[in-house]
Amino acid sequence: MNFSEFIETYAAHPNYHAPRGNQLNARSWQTEAPLRMLLNNLDREVAENPEELVVYGGTGQAARNKEALQQIIKQLLILDENHSLLVQSGKAVGIVRTHPEAPRVLIANSNLVPAWANWEHFEKLKKDGLMMYGQMTAGSWIYIGSQGILQGTYETFVACRKKYFNNNFQHKLLVSGGLGGMGGAQPLAATMAGAVFLGVDIDPERIRKRLQTGYIDHISYSYREAVDMILRAKEKGDVISVGLVADIGDTLQNLLIDGIIPDILTDQTSAHDPLHGYVPNAISLEEAIRLRRSDPAAYRNRSMKSMARHAGLMLKLQERGSVTFDYGNNLREMAKQGGEPNAYDFDGFTPKFIRPLFCEGKGPFRWAALSGDPEDIFTTDKALIEAFPENHPMIDWLIKAGERISFQGLPARICWLGMGEREKAGLLFNDLVRTGKVKAPIVIGRDHLDCGSVASPNRETEKMKDGSDAVSDWPLLNLMSNTAGGATWVSFHHGGGVGMGYSQHAGMVVLADGTDRAAACISRVLYNDPALGIFRHHDAGYELATDTLHQFGMELRESYEI
């Protein structure tokens, strides 16, 4: 198949999909893997807006434009194992000499010198065709649909359940805004954890997409109808999820007026981007789209004021008894800038629930079957359950995931694994490929939201024990360690999750193709990657991280003798 035929078959804009099976299109699986995952990111089953190459998160793209995407595809088809492709904000800019165990693709997205690291300068560069917003896994080609954040959301809700509700969500109501690519995981995560869920989004298409994939149970266009459904379920002890097409601020206001106080309250609107993400109050979606184009400054101003109102209502519900937390979209900062002085009076999810997991090197380990056959994922599920019989939370999760999760694009899975577990799992997958128990190689990656890959003071590194929230040496060390270790592709981004100026973060993907080369790379990368989280939290003074460091013999050497 020549290049034109490949484009026509797999990448005729905007209808993208990854090749399936075990036949190569590129020169090796090291380049076939990133090629398939790039196209999978843009598959309509996965991407929020493939027409604009937007994967999720408002404007998070996989490539800068259609022409840049085709050039990336072409280079991946012809790249050999002694060279690596450089991708700068979604555009192929060069090929460098490397070696067979080096990353085949090196990606940098949205990075700006700190004094220029703001939305205004970014938007100017984007308008001039010089940059794109990579979000986290959009621009690093390892997004796997709403499932990608599903277990992290589930882990957060379970931690909340244990901390505040005696590990029982029966008769409890969880309310949140935002049902897009990331927020769309919330309804299923909530019901899997045992809560009644009410989610609010102004865009009905986002809720319909969750209905189609089984992530949400009901859609409603009526506040009264939605409230009646959730209150009946809550009283009876049933577990359902309802998506309400409405403004989240108006809905919270109505809940306050009606005296309906959610047991748990959070938010995953695209608050990180006040122009292209969040939709202001008192305006229809269609009017918002027109205003966004005609008067961006006015739109941004209305958006920030709406977020201030939104956060203010969350604070009022917190006062009335709701367990309230920011879920990492930078709503509090945008609300503060919009006029809510007390926006930070509710905590972020990481210090409230997740940091102990980070101290153990735990985080969102994900993988995808390049064969396209769901049976390959079920084989990996079974292998993990057999390999980790003592990891009951993981086993419980994998059983639930197998029963309830619909695949989007290439079949994939995610589960949270820690130090030692990730390396063992990766080598296990490589052996499944080597022995033919799965039909094609498997790619192993993770979210950038991980124990040692991100500096984000309003999210993953909020309220660090030593005050090092904004130190981004750590994600840079993560990037370098995974590059040196032999990840198949690596990335370094700015702004993902919380917007320009507020985060820096690294991503990695490593290929399991059944070879000895892959085993060596997997062993190094899946040691190095969680190790960075333990080093980072040990250095910050967390005793649990120090205990983990000693458990795995990761201390700095005291002797020259090895």
Judge whether 177 lies within some domain.
yes
Judge whether 340 lies within some domain.
yes
Judge whether 171 lies within some domain.
yes
Strand partners for 146: 144
Judge whether 159 lies within some domain.
yes
**pTM of the predicted structure, to 2 decimals:** 0.91
Query: Contact at 8 Å (CB) between 331 and 307?
Result: yes
**pLDDT (0 to 100) of residue 130:** 97
**pLDDT (0 to 100) of residue 234:** 97
Tell me how far apart the terminal alpha carbons of the chain are, to the nearest angstrom.
Answer: 52
**pLDDT (0 to 100) of residue 27:** 97
Per the structure, the complete domain to which residue 259 belongs is given by 147-345
Judge whether 297 lies within some domain.
yes
> How much helix, strand and coil, in percent to the nearest 5, is found in the chain?
45, 15, 40
**pLDDT (0 to 100) of residue 353:** 94
Distance CA 538, CA 515 (A): 34
Query: Contact at 8 Å (CB) between 233 and 196?
Result: yes
Question: Which segments within 228-379 are labelled E, that is strand?
Answer: 241-245, 264-265, 323-326, 347-348, 363-369
What is residue 557's DSSP assignment? Answer: P
Q: What angle do CA 209, 213, 155 make, to 5 degrees?
A: 105
Judge whether 85 lies within some domain.
no
Burial of 12 (0-12, 13-18, 19+ CB in 10 A): exposed
Judge whether 131 lies within some domain.
no
**pLDDT (0 to 100) of residue 562:** 55
- Residue 170 phi, psi (nearest 5): -60, 135
Q: What is the pLDDT along the chain (562 residues), one digit of tens a residue?
A: 899 999 999 999 999 999 999 999 999 999 999 999 999 999 999 999 999 999 998 899 999 999 999 999 999 999 999 999 999 999 999 999 999 999 999 999 999 999 999 999 999 999 999 999 999 999 999 999 888 888 889 999 999 999 999 999 999 999 999 998 788 999 999 999 999 999 999 999 999 999 988 999 999 999 999 999 999 999 999 999 999 999 999 999 999 999 999 999 999 999 999 999 999 999 999 999 999 999 999 999 999 999 999 999 999 999 999 999 999 899 999 999 999 999 999 999 999 999 999 999 999 999 999 999 999 999 999 999 999 999 998 999 999 999 988 899 999 999 999 999 999 999 999 999 999 999 999 999 999 999 999 999 999 999 999 999 999 999 999 999 999 999 999 999 999 999 999 999 999 999 999 999 999 999 999 999 999 999 999 999 999 999 999 999 999 988 776 5
Q: Which residues are catalytic?
A: 415
Distance CA 1, CA 35 (A): 15
Both structure tokens of 201: 């989004």
**pLDDT (0 to 100) of residue 503:** 97
> The domain spanning residue 249 has which CATH number?
3.40.50.10730
**pLDDT (0 to 100) of residue 561:** 66
Judge whether 247 lies within some domain.
yes
Query: Contact at 8 Å (CB) between 509 and 445?
Result: yes
Q: Give how many domains the chain has, as a whole number.
A: 1
List of residues 6+ apart from 76 with CB closer than 8 A: 26, 31, 32, 34, 35, 38, 85, 105
